[in-house]
Structure 1
Amino acid sequence: MEDTKKLNTSKLGTKEYWDDFYELETNNFKENPEDTGECWFADNDAEDKMIEFLIDNTGEYRVSSDSSMIDLGTGNGHLLFQLYEEGFHGRMVGVDYSAKSAEFAAQILQSKYPEATNLFFEASDIFSTNWNPGQFDVVLDKGTLDAIALSGIVGENGQSIVQLYPKVVEKLLTKDSIFLITSCNFTQDELIQIIESEHLRVWKTIEYPVFEFGGVKGASICSVAFVKK
């Protein structure tokens, strides 16, 4: 049976694509300071649902208004900025392998949220063995696994980038920490199969509108929260 978790490669999985994309976003921001860039999955309200999920589950495991958070593939930092506006004031770190992305998010931070001394942005290769940002209460992914899965990159041990990703996430988590991921390329079952391990267990999922085609029901997007045991 074909492994549906394997995606075709695409320019969306390349660093060059995102460098060019965020250079354009930066130029647009310089011309219009109100233009802070695109909010991914806005049509599905995914970002709002992720934030609502954290608000509704405050007090569970390590989720609190003071939770330390890291956003993998932060892009323009929009998710972290919205969390900040909703009252989450713990240490927040946004990382992206595109330096242009990190620079753009930092410019928005300086312009729109100069008082937010708890927000940081950096360009990093999360798959590098030298990358060690510490551990966090909450790890976030909104479409990042989707993008890197399109890169076609294979690790030194022959594992795909998708197979390597859960280990990256796991080292960022301490006991009772949460990993909340949203995807439009993988189904809920596929995400669980990719991420769940002895130490990372499914906690809760976020509900989205379900469509039916040819007698098969599904959703165009899914969000799953895992807890580190």
Structure 2
Amino acid sequence: MQDTTQLNKSKLGTKQYWDDFYAVERKNFKANEEDTGECWFDDNDAEQKMVDFLSDNIEQYSIESGSSMIDLGTGNGHLLFELAENDFAGPMLGVDYSEESVQFANEIAQSRGLSSTITFEQADIFSDDWSPGEFDIVLDKGTLDAIALSGLQIGNKSVVECYSTVVEKLLKDGGVFLITSCNFTQEELTKIIETDNLKVWETVDYPVFEFGGVKGTPICTIAFVKGVL
């Protein structure tokens, strides 16, 4: 099996690519405020499945309508805006290493009157100096996928190998980490994320396809819980 921490490098793993991408999306938004940019994994209905999972599991572990949330690699903030529209009213923070992304998401929040409850900031989530506190829920929709394409190292480890440490630092005990990936299978994602203190809780079902006698899905969503399983 391919080493999941050693995927081939791609421009999709570079900061410059995302700065350029969101600069174009900001320009489009300024011309038309209805154009809030791309919804990643929309073809698989992944964002709605993430929202539905949290809505269906209210009062399980740390999931409440007023839960604090952080969205890693937030992009245009679409996932947080969707959660707000589905009655999640707790403080939400979206972080991204692209300044253009953060400016774009803040502009959308201001246009929707949501800047008092949803905030965005530029951050290097792997920096020891970055410490935004602990949250009830940590979200990732495709961010680990992009990180895996960067080829970056922290010491003698890949950033993928360091990712679960970042998540653990951000989660309260009993907190939920909900992640969606298209680069990793469910088994690979579990291997990357699980630690002694961070365990699989639930998975989200997607349609199963069969090709060449092998069954699978092009995407997976897994919920992990910190410290209580």
Q: Does 1:183 align with 2:202?
A: no
**Residue 2 to residue 27, structure 1, CA distance change in 2 (3 Å):** closer
Q: Does 1:40 align with 2:33?
A: no
**Separation of aligned partners in 2, 1:163 and 1:2:** 15
Three-state SS of the structure 2 residue aligned to 1:197 is coil
How far off is 1:115 after superposition?
4.6
**Separation of aligned partners in 2, 1:49 and 1:191:** 18
Q: Does 1:127 align with 2:126?
A: yes
Three-state SS of the structure 1 residue aligned to 2:151 is coil
Three-state SS of the structure 2 residue aligned to 1:205 is strand
The alignment covers a number of residue pairs equal to: 227
Q: Which residue number in structure 2 is paired with residue 166 of structure 1?
A: 164
Q: Which residue number in structure 1 is paired with residue 200 of structure 2?
A: 202
How far off is 1:2 after superposition?
4.0
Three-state SS of the structure 2 residue aligned to 1:120 is strand
**Residue 96 to residue 115, structure 1, CA distance change in 2 (3 Å):** closer
Structural mapping, 1:18-167, within 5 Å:
18-112=18-112, 114-156=113-155, 158-167=156-165
Three-state SS of the structure 2 residue aligned to 1:7 is coil
Three-state SS of the structure 1 residue aligned to 2:184 is coil
**Separation of aligned partners in 2, 1:24 and 1:6:** 30
Q: Deviations over 1:154-194 (max 9, x none)?
A: 112x1001001110000001111000000000000000000
How far off is 1:116 after superposition?
4.8
How far off is 1:152 after superposition?
0.2
Three-state SS of the structure 2 residue aligned to 1:103 is helix
- What TM-score, normalized by structure 2, do the two folds share? 0.97
Q: Is the 8 A contact 2:5 2:158 kept in 1?
A: no
Q: Is the 8 A contact 1:5 1:190 kept in 2?
A: no
**Separation of aligned partners in 2, 1:227 and 1:132:** 20
**Separation of aligned partners in 2, 1:179 and 1:66:** 16
**Residue 116 to residue 87, structure 1, CA distance change in 2 (3 Å):** farther
Q: Deviations over 1:53-84 (max 9, x none)?
A: 00000010000000000000000000000000
**Separation of aligned partners in 2, 1:9 and 1:31:** 34
Which 4+ residue blocks in structure 1 deviate beyond 3 angstroms? none
Query: RMSD of the alignment, in Å?
Result: 0.9
Three-state SS of the structure 2 residue aligned to 1:125 is coil
Structural mapping, 1:209-228, within 5 Å:
209-228=207-226
Q: Which residue number in structure 2 is paired with residue 13 of structure 1?
A: 13
How far off is 1:222 after superposition?
0.1
**Separation of aligned partners in 2, 1:18 and 1:89:** 29
Q: Is the 8 A contact 1:138 1:178 kept in 2?
A: yes
Three-state SS of the structure 2 residue aligned to 1:53 is helix
- Identity of counterpart residues, as a percentage? 63
Q: Is the 8 A contact 2:62 2:174 kept in 1?
A: yes
